[in-house]
Every structure is written in structure tokens, then in C-alpha cells.
Structure 1
Amino acid sequence: MKLSTSFNALALASRALAAHIPRQSNDTGYSVQEPPLTTPWTYEVGTDPWPEYPRPLFQRPQWQSLNGIWRHQNYSSIQAVNSPPVGQTLQNAVMVPSCLESGLSGLQGEYMFYNWYSTSFTVPQSWTGDRVLLNFGAVDYEATVVVNGQEAGFNRGGYHAFSLDITELLTSGTNELLVFAHDPTDSDPFVIPIGKQTLRPSHIFYRPCSGIWQSVWIESAPANYVTELNLNADMDGKVSGAISTSTNTSTSVEMIFTLRGGSGGASTHGASTGDFSFTVESPALWSLDSPNLYDIEITVGQDKFKSYTGFRTVSRGVIDGIERPLLNGEFVFLFGTLDQGYWPDGLYVPPNYEAMVYDLKTLKQIGYNGLRKHIKVETDLFYKACDEMGLFLIQDMPSLRPLQERTLADCTVETIEPNAAQQAEFQRQLELLIQQHRNYPSILIWVIYNEGWGQITEPYYPEFALTDIVEGLDPSRLVIATSGWYDHGAGDFSDNHHYANPQCGSPFYSIQSSPYDPSRIGIQGEFGGIGQNTTIEHLWNVQEAINAINQTYEIDETRDAWNYRAHRLLGELEDQVEMYACSGGIWTQTTDVEGEVNGMLTYDRRVLRPDLAQWNADINALYDAAAARSNSSMRLL
């Protein structure tokens, strides 16, 4: 296999350096714990991780990162939450943010159900008189926050951000921050959104991620500050949305739009808090080929912050009798990878920003124009990178406890499904996913259920009501109600999963997928998945994972054979684009993960499998075939 010179030079240089970097250690007692597999960035993390501003769509000028080395102690009972260790030195040094089960955390623990964290901070004197907000990107799964011995707030849900006004709890000197994280993962009796996390890793289900796994920071805000910004900009220049504030009083709003990297003046628009709508004349549109973004300076009363947006419209249309996804009124063939966002050293957490965007740049180089973010939610910086690079995103809701059964007292076996309260909590967290991510231009499609995982499959079929809720919260995007398997007709897509061969918008299907429904858009939500084993240097060195490698859908013994098989499968997909109603496909997957060896990259990101010339040609053939089907009459819906 031949790789491009530029890719090899970059990859080999960074990996050669990484191989000789010693393990991080300092007087805090923290050090990286050797994971079962490293990446080129494992020992480059240092003690000031993720220094970038964590929330690029809502960036206040005065902020302070609390990331770094905290103290941590694991407890044996949920009752530990009732006894905050105020003024105590906890047992271990821990990296924040990180997964407690990861090597980067400094712990690499197991069964991290009940955890106290502690750190301290000082508020800058220049913030005197302002409100001080404490922000968490995500804590898995429940977080109880204590500031200077007093409870500041509670949050449930491992994939969304939350903010607390801690002004009244602060002192003029050093402040103590304690966080209790409770993460049951898939222990009984919990049925919660966990994606692919499990306490019992096995092939396609992986080591869990507990605790504070996204950035923590404080920031200064005026007495009446913005609590939520909802903003959508379409291809006609219409900007609409809503702004909420802490006091819910009507306040003047000024927005200044400036094309990033462009010439010419800025466009200024006034509004007030609550719902707003106005038009920017002749905007440069955001697309996959030209991801134009507009930086926005927003002033709401005394609150000033920065954001950005992209002008684009996502819709459905009928072309020659076939339902198609449209971006800015044109059929765009969506071809990406199943992107699970796992790292051998950090699990849910990439070692740093460079590592995170390395995956995205690699996908662009291979020829993909997007990815399906598979039952995981990323940091805001990930979505920003996709916005800037022109990569589309299909964003999954993390699944409830998937594909598990329990044995009852009478020895009968039942499939674990959510009860009414658990289903209501799933809906609440789905709504938060939409509300917190609907401003990112790169997200084109929401996914509610994957392959029946946590899905109630008897009538009443909850995906119909959930689709209505998603469309109500965000009418600017399309919805895949069920990706694969139990499809009862909800949503915008007829989504087929089949390994290894595609069955995309075609007159043939297999028992695990529903037949193509011509009243909706045909997409191959997962296919490929062919694997190629590698040497132990590039494998997740856990025996149970190695034993599971042969569960991969297909194993090809050499990289040449792997590329040959990929060429044939991509050719089949091209046929289905030309002959039938295929509008997009998702190849499994971006990287290997634990016992899966079917990635574009190995799990350590050190080996790239695709023959780039071949893959570029095959993927371009898909785009060309789709373009040939889009030059006919079109009717918008």
C-alpha cells in the first residue's frame, strides 16, 4: 500500500517523537498510567490539559480554566455523597478532564461508581461585583457540586453541559470545590444513556468512562446574563432563534456578523431577548466544499460574548421520484464513517486537540465528507472543528442500556427495556442534546435510536412522539428515528444496516433490516466493517479483546486483501447509487476500538489501512454517480 508523502511525513515525524517522550510526572503525585495501548500523544498531555476555551459558540471574555491535577477518592457506597470531604486531602491525584478508567486519568480504575473530587481556585479581583459561573462540559453520570462546604447544585446525565451560579458561595481568598460523581454504567437496576460503555467489555462494547470527562471552568458575567442562545441561519440569510437571560427581563440585543477570513464590512442587527428574526443580505453559504463561517459579536445588555454561525439550509426534496437529502437546495451524497470517538489512552477523551483533529483530517484525506457520531456526544471543540473543516455530522443520541438481558427469580429471561420513568429521562436527555448542539452548522441529521438499543419495540412505538419532539425543538434538520433494525416508519430516513455488503435504497434487504421505504430517504446507516488484524504493537492488549477479534464481520488476512474487498464493496454501493435510491452511506469505522480491527486507522492511530489513491477514486465515483442522478427535475418538500 502506498500512502501520500505528506501523510507519511507528518505521521512518522510525530510518532517518532512520541516514542521517546518519557512518562509525565510531577510533584503533584500525578503520572499517566500505562494503558493497554498508547497513541503518539499519550505522554504529551502534561498537567494543563485542554487549555482551549471549551464553549466556542458562547465565549465570554473573562474566564479561567479549572482543568489540571485535582485530588480524587473512590468510595464503596452512594452514601458517601452525604459526607463531603470538606477540608480533607483526598487519596489520589487525578487528571481533569479524563475518564477515571483511562490511563490519562492517572488512576486507570475499575468499578468507579462513587467518587469524590477536590480542587481549589481563586476568583480574579477584577471580577468583583460580577456573577461567577461554574461550568462543566460533562460529568458521567450524576454530579453533586459543593463549594466551600455548601451544595451548589446537582446534575444528571453524562453527555451534556451544565452551569451553576456560585457567586453567593464564594470567599475573597481560596475556594474549595468538591464534586461527587456517581456512575452506575450498566449495573442493575439502572437503565440510563450509556452508548457503548459497559462494565463487562466484549467486542463491540467497551471500557466505561466515569467522572469529569470534559472541561471545567469559571467565568465572569453581569447580573443579568445570557443563559441560552438558540440561533439558526438559513441559505436565504434569515437568522432566527431566541435568547434567554437569568432574570427573564426584556433586554436589548446587538449582533455584529463578520465573514471569517473574508473582506468587506460587518453586518449589524438589533433585536431583544426572547424570540428574534432578521435577515443578513447575500450571505456566503456554509457547505461541505466551502464551509464559510460568520463570527458574531453579541451584546445583551451588559453581557458581551462571541459566537459564530454558518448560513445553510437542510431539507428534503424529490428528484425524479426519489426522496433526497438537500443541503442548500441541492442533493449532496453523504458519505462518512461510523465515528465512535474512543481512544486507548483516554477512552472518551482525546489526549489533546491535535489528536482529536488528526482523525478528522485523516477522514478528509481519504475522501469522506462527514461522519456519523455514533452514540456518543463530543466536546464542543469537536463540533467547531467539523464546522471549520466542512464535515457533515449525523449525531446519535447515546443509547440506553443496549442488548442486555436479565434472569428473573423464576429463571425466565427478559430483555432489559426502560420503564416509564427511565423512558422519560431518556427523552429529557435527548431534548438537552438537541438544545445544546442545534447551533452547529455541521450537524445535519439527528438519530434517536440505534439498532433497537433501549428502544421499546411494541406499540406505542415511542420513536414517533420523540421524532415530533426533536422536530419541534429543531425544525432546521432531518431526523433518523431508528438507524437499522426496528423501523416502523417514523422520521425522514429509511436506514439499512448490513455487513459487509450495502443494501441502500435497494429492492433487497436482510432479516435484521427493514425493506426500503420509498416515502423516505434511503441511506446505508452502517456497512463495510471488514477487518484486518495487525500486530500486538497496534492492538488493545487485553486478552478478552484479542480473543474477540474473530467476531469482526469479516477478517481479511492482508492489507492488500482488505483494500481489494473495500474496493468491491464501494463498487456495490456505487451501483446502488446509479440504479436505485441510495442517498448516503456510513462505513464502519474511523478507527479500531478495543477488540474491533475494522478501522481506517488502528486504535493507536499509527497505521492507516486505506490505499489512498484507490479510496479517493472509489469515493469520488460515489459522488459522481450521485451528481449524475441530481441533474433532473426536483420538487422540494
Structure 2
Amino acid sequence: MRVASSLILSLQATLTLASSYDSNFFNPGKARRQNVNAKAYAVQEPPLTTDWTYKLGTNPWPEYPRPQLERAKWQNLNGLWTYQNAASLDALNSPPFNQTLANEVLIPSCLESAISGIQANYSIYSWFQTSFNIPSSWSNQSVLLNFGAVDYEATVFINGQKAGFNRGGYSAFTIDATGLVFVHDPTDSGDYVIPIGKQTLNPSHIFYRPCSGIWQSVWIESAPTNHITQLDVAADMNGEVNVTIHSSSGTPGPVEIIFYDSGSKRSPNILASQTGTSDVSFQFTVPSPKLWSPDSPSLYNFTVVMGSDEVSSYTGFRTISKGKVDGIVRPLLNGEFIFQFGTLDQGYWPDGVYTPPNREAMVYDLEALKKLGFNMLRKHIKVENALFYQACDQMGLLLIQDMPALRPIQSRTLSNCTSETILPDTDQQAEFTRQLEVLVNQHKNYPSIGTWVIYNEGWGQVIQGYPEFGLTDIVRSLDPTRLVDSTTGWHDHGAGDYSDNHHYANPQCGSPFYSIDSSPYDPTRIGFQGEFGGIGQNVSIEHLWNVQTAINTINQTYEIDTSIEAWNYRAHRLLDDLRDQTELFACSGGVWTQTTDVEGEVNGLLTYDRRVLRPDVAQWQADIKALYDAAAGSHNASMAIS
């Protein structure tokens, strides 16, 4: 049987995809030349390279993209597609079927990136096209077309018929392809108020080049008509496992979940098994599991069987909570106070923008943090691909996960010549809420995530009515197993689990002093330094984002140190301040700004190209250990909070 189908994706970008049933699998080790008439793919010269820029080839990200719901029968659709710009949303009325698109493009990538082969500006509307073969062995099965993330809206057509739509540049989605996709990505143009994080069409200092298009992996897989669509698995420190297995039909039916010994994939090393019913929560106990923590990130593999559908996954046993320790409210991991210390992690790359060059590059940053002694990072108003979260699970890095911010701190001039901050209207706020729910539901299985952040520094935060209280309730109802930092930085009205202060360039963490742009410490919640540090050190041009408008903003950095030695001296003083506040007051953790330089920011532990590590490793290891030691001995402190 031969079934022709085409898929067009538009994000202000569009994708056309033709498929047919065939006995041949797509070979991910061989590049697919989409059209000899299209301009051939080549990596563009970015303003700054990394060691991976020119080593990627044309078959990027070969790993299975969704490790917590993995199927055996799948094909990777990453690689060379074709692309061309579209003029407007009206392009949806005349998809470019049977036409040659102008350029080859590497998927996944941001169109604005050098790795894409396009390095475009203002890619609001675009078309993408690819072709692939579906094995004949998949007949009588559903063919699921999966996208890790497309920024921002994707309309999918199959055989000329609209088959699906997704809105949200950070969420995964699946289309039953048994497609054509049109993508629209307005970023911060016009009156759009959407979750964009730090993306802007007009980059300047702390706001960066945007990402448009298919920036996470694309793949197809075979599954029964009634198949598993989502796993909700929460495993706590007592071995209690709470499970909901969602089915495509929504009709309850028998399911089985099988846990294996740590490190093993299949029987005979079965640790525990349990039968239950799909679409209904059920519970069981795994005896004496090894607990997950940054020092011992133990993970357990399991499989789920529902009819003829079988998927593999993993989890970690751990409990996140808060409680009083010697009279101070603390974050607890497995019932014990753990001082959380990490970096503000932007997740930007000079050659890939939002998309890391490959898994090796992505993990390089995480390994650098672990070597220095960090046990946490704050994923700052961005959502990463699933393999990033898996790496944090495996390496033992706690995560504070931000919701991508609505249009940050921008204003518009009204007809009466007054200025107002751009904030969401009722419909835009409802869409923000929906995408927050999607973020939590799609990521609540990762053991490493310990805290959800709703608002960063008031960006897109409506002050009237304090909506963060209702949003906090929604997050807790979706995921009662984690903490919520409702407002990190500014406009704190008492919602959530954290009393979170931002202050550059010295900390004010759980202390009896604060600055007027933050809030006083609230002893009924966790005292936390959500951002601090931010000290910068300029470097030579070969390690800078070589864009003059970005270079012009370097002196907007909170502090510039003229040498590496001075930078390390200042860092030592700031970390020592944080240690004092941990010993003497109620500081429970902090976030150092930041992992890497980004464009016009030069305050990273690593330069933007990842070629220079600024920290004196021995000094930083000692200073971070001193923080943990201070937290462990904080009950002996002689000063009390008034």
C-alpha cells in the first residue's frame, strides 16, 4: 500500500513533508539530499564559533529524543530539509506543494543560527519541506509524527487536509500522521504578548537573538491505534510510586508497569511490577530503593505495557519538600536540608542560538558546573530538549525550572504620548496559564526538577489582582511533589514557597537587610538568593560575540573586572558574603549569574564560545564547599533573625 502525504510547517516558518509506505527505513547515518535545485546546505560563519561549529555534519541529534517515553520502532527525521521564507499568514491559503523550496536547512536548528545554514533575520513566516519512507511493517498502525519544539505556532496539514495545530514555542507535540505544517513566530513584534524568554527581534545586552523554526528534534514512530500518550510517574523516598498512564482513546484498560534493578533494562532483574488501569491513578511500592540526590543520582528503568503498545522510561526515588530546621524554613531533599547552589543557565549558543550543537556540547556545560561543585542550576526562562533533563537526572544536578517570560520589560507609547508597560490582556494571560500547565505536565517526571518558577522579576506579571496566587495553586494541583517559586526577584506579595531576593553585586539572602527593588525576607518561607554575582571580565575579540551593537553594551555589566585574577578575587568576596549569610541568618541557597557569557554579556563562568573557563577551580571548589559546610552547621549560628 502506498499512501502519499505532505506536511507543511509554518512558524513564520513552514515545513512540507512527503511520506509513503515503503519497506525501507530512513538511514540516520546518511544525509538526505532534499532537492538538487535548492541552494546547498553549508554552515554559515557566525559572529563567534565553538569547538563544535564545523564538526556536526548533516545528521544532528541522532539520539532518541524522548527518553521518558521511548518506543522501539522509530525514525529520526533530523537532517537536511528545505526552507524558504513566507510573506505572511496568508501563505497558509496556498501551501507550496510540488514546488522547489529555495534553500537546504539543517533540522533541528534556529533559522537565525549559523548551524541552520540560513542565519536569517526576522524569520516570522517560513516553509520547511522533507520526505521520508515509512516501513511497510508499520501498516495497520498509527504513525505518530513528533516535534520536540517549534517556535511559535505550527499548523499541520496531511494530504491537503488540516491535521493539527500547536501553539507554544517550548512544548512538544504529536500529530497522528496516518502532515504539512505552517509556523508563525512573531517573537516581540507588533502587539504580540507571548512567552518568549529572552528572545527579541532587537537584541541588546540581556536580551538576545531570537529563535524561529523547528529547533528541537523531529521523529516518527509506530504505535497501535490505542497507544500510550503520557506517563505520570512520581516515586518518593519511601519507595511509593504513584502512576497514571494516559491512553490515546481515554478509555480505561489494563496496563502493567515493570521496574528493573538500577542500571538494568530488562528481566531477569525485575525489582517490582504492578498491574493497573490506564487513565486512572494507581499506586504500589518498590522495596528499599536507592534514593536520588546530587551526590548519588540513582535512577531506575521501567517499562509500561498497554495492549500491544510498550514503552520504556526511567525515574528516580526522591522527595522534595520544605520544613522547619532549627526554627528556619528550609528546602528539604529526602527529608534533609540541602543548600542549593547553582548558576543562572541561559542555554544560548553562538552557533546554534537556542539549539546546542550536539549532546556533547550541551553536556560540556553541565560537567563544568559539576566539577566546580555546583549541585543545582536554574534553567532561566527557557525550556530545553528532553535529553538535557535526562543529563541532569543522570549527573545529579537539581533544577529550578522557569516558565518562559512574557514580553519582558517593554513599553509602548500611546496616542496621548504617555508610555505604558506592555502586559498581557485577558486572553494573553489565559494563554500564558495554559502554556504554564503544559510546561509542568510535560516535565514533571524528571527527578532533577525540584522547583517551578512562575514569574521572573515581574516580566509580564500583572500586578493588579496578584495572579501569581492562582497560578501557584494551579501548579501545585498539577504537581504537588515540588516547590514553587512564584515570583523570583520583584513584586513578591507572599505567594509560593520562596522569599526570593535578587541583588547585584552582593547577596541579601534570608537576611535582615534588603534593597528597595526587592522585598524583605519573609521567615514563613524559604530565604533564597535567586540571582547575584553578575560580575564581568572582558576578553579579547576572538572570544566575544563579534556584533558591534552587543560589544557596545558590555559596559552595562554590573561590574567589570580588568583581569581574571581580579574577577576571581571579587567572586571569592561575594561567595564569602553568601557563606556569612548562610551561617548567621536564614539563607538556603543561591543562583550565581551565570554559566556562560551571552552575546553582549561577559559575566559567565565560561566565555560564550566555551573556550575560556574564568574560575580558579581550586578556589571555587573550596568556596562552594564552604557554603555547604556553613549550611550544615547553620544551627550553631550565634545570630538569630529578628
TM-score in terms of structure 1 length: 0.92
1:103-144 residue CA offsets vs partner (Å, 9 max, x unmatched): 011000001001111111111111111111010000000001
User: Per-residue deviation at 1:166?
Assistant: 1.4
Aligned to 2:584: 579
Map 1:171-570; keep pairs closer than 5 Å: 177-261=179-263, 265-273=270-278, 274-458=280-464, 460-570=465-575
The yes-or-no answer on 1:96 pairing with 2:107 is: yes
Match of 1:589 among 589, 594, 601: 594
User: Per-residue deviation at 1:264?
Assistant: 5.8
> How far, CA to CA, are the matches of 2:220 and 2:295 in structure 1?
37
Q: Which amino acid aligns with 1:145?
A: V
User: Per-residue deviation at 1:213?
Assistant: 0.4
User: Per-residue deviation at 1:428?
Assistant: 0.1
> How far, CA to CA, are the matches of 1:597 and 1:33 in structure 2?
24
Q: Which amino acid aligns with 1:163?
A: T
Match of 1:49 among 55, 60, 69: 60
1:129-165 residue CA offsets vs partner (Å, 9 max, x unmatched): 1111010000000001223332221110000000011
> How far, CA to CA, are the matches of 2:325 and 2:349 in structure 1?
41
> How far, CA to CA, are the matches of 2:260 and 2:468 in structure 1?
40
The yes-or-no answer on 1:154 pairing with 2:169 is: no
User: Per-residue deviation at 1:629?
Assistant: 2.5
> How far, CA to CA, are the matches of 1:415 and 1:125 in structure 2?
56
> How far, CA to CA, are the matches of 2:463 and 2:238 in structure 1?
40
Aligned to 1:139: 150
> How far, CA to CA, are the matches of 2:630 and 2:263 in structure 1?
33
Find the residue that maps to 1:89 and give its secondary structure: coil
8 Å contact kept, 2:423–2:461: yes
Q: Which amino acid aligns with 1:203?
A: H
User: Per-residue deviation at 1:630?
Assistant: 5.8
> How far, CA to CA, are the matches of 1:265 and 1:183 in structure 2?
47
User: Per-residue deviation at 1:235?
Assistant: 0.4
1:465-513 residue CA offsets vs partner (Å, 9 max, x unmatched): 0000000000000000000011000000000000010000000111111
Aligned to 2:17: none
Which range is displaced more, 559-568 or 235-244? Answer: 235-244
Find the residue that maps to 2:631 and give its secondary structure: helix
8 Å contact kept, 2:259–2:270: no
Pair 573,443 (structure 1): closer, same or farther in 2 beyond 3 Å: same
8 Å contact kept, 1:116–1:178: no
Pair 210,492 (structure 1): closer, same or farther in 2 beyond 3 Å: same
Aligned to 1:119: 130
> How far, CA to CA, are the matches of 2:225 and 2:201 in structure 1?
44
Find the residue that maps to 2:281 and give its secondary structure: strand
1:232-263 residue CA offsets vs partner (Å, 9 max, x unmatched): 00001111131111112222111111133379
Q: Which amino acid aligns with 1:216?
A: V
Structure 2 gaps of 5+ residues are 1-30, 638-642
Pair 103,25 (structure 1): closer, same or farther in 2 beyond 3 Å: farther
8 Å contact kept, 1:253–1:301: yes
8 Å contact kept, 1:86–1:149: no
Which range is displaced more, 449-458 or 251-260? Answer: 251-260
8 Å contact kept, 1:25–1:31: no
Find the residue that maps to 1:154 and give its secondary structure: strand
User: Per-residue deviation at 1:25?
Assistant: 13
1:405-429 residue CA offsets vs partner (Å, 9 max, x unmatched): 0001111111101000000000000
Q: Which amino acid aligns with 1:212?
A: I
Q: Which amino acid aligns with 1:90?
A: L
8 Å contact kept, 1:376–1:397: yes
> How far, CA to CA, are the matches of 2:180 and 2:553 in structure 1?
40
8 Å contact kept, 1:540–1:595: yes
> How far, CA to CA, are the matches of 1:301 and 1:265 in structure 2?
20
Which range is displaced more, 592-601 or 623-632? Answer: 623-632
Aligned to 1:15: none
Aligned to 1:11: none
1:44-92 residue CA offsets vs partner (Å, 9 max, x unmatched): 1111010100000000110001111111111221111221111111111
Pair 480,397 (structure 1): closer, same or farther in 2 beyond 3 Å: same
> How far, CA to CA, are the matches of 2:285 and 2:55 in structure 1?
46
1:302-331 residue CA offsets vs partner (Å, 9 max, x unmatched): 110100000000000101110000000000
Aligned to 2:72: 61
Find the residue that maps to 1:496 and give its secondary structure: strand
8 Å contact kept, 2:258–2:270: no
TM-score in terms of structure 2 length: 0.92
1:499-537 residue CA offsets vs partner (Å, 9 max, x unmatched): 010000000111111010000000000000000000000
Find the residue that maps to 2:520 and give its secondary structure: coil
Find the residue that maps to 1:516 and give its secondary structure: coil
> How far, CA to CA, are the matches of 2:306 and 2:593 in structure 1?
44
1:197-237 residue CA offsets vs partner (Å, 9 max, x unmatched): 00110000000000110001100001210112111000011
Find the residue that maps to 2:596 and give its secondary structure: coil
8 Å contact kept, 1:331–1:630: no
8 Å contact kept, 1:114–1:181: yes
- Count of residue pairs the alignment pairs up: 599
> How far, CA to CA, are the matches of 1:111 and 1:507 in structure 2?
47
> How far, CA to CA, are the matches of 1:457 and 1:128 in structure 2?
54
> How far, CA to CA, are the matches of 2:250 and 2:395 in structure 1?
36
Find the residue that maps to 2:175 and give its secondary structure: strand
Aligned to 1:39: 50
8 Å contact kept, 2:32–2:79: no
Aligned to 2:7: none
> How far, CA to CA, are the matches of 2:610 and 2:234 in structure 1?
36
Which range is displaced more, 520-529 or 244-253? Answer: 244-253
1:270-308 residue CA offsets vs partner (Å, 9 max, x unmatched): 211121111111111111110000000111121101000
8 Å contact kept, 2:599–2:608: yes
Q: Which amino acid aligns with 1:611?
A: D
8 Å contact kept, 2:185–2:212: yes
> How far, CA to CA, are the matches of 2:286 and 2:271 in structure 1?
10
1:564-601 residue CA offsets vs partner (Å, 9 max, x unmatched): 00000000000000000000000000000000000010
> How far, CA to CA, are the matches of 1:409 and 1:241 in structure 2?
55
> How far, CA to CA, are the matches of 1:569 and 1:631 in structure 2?
22
> How far, CA to CA, are the matches of 2:363 and 2:635 in structure 1?
32
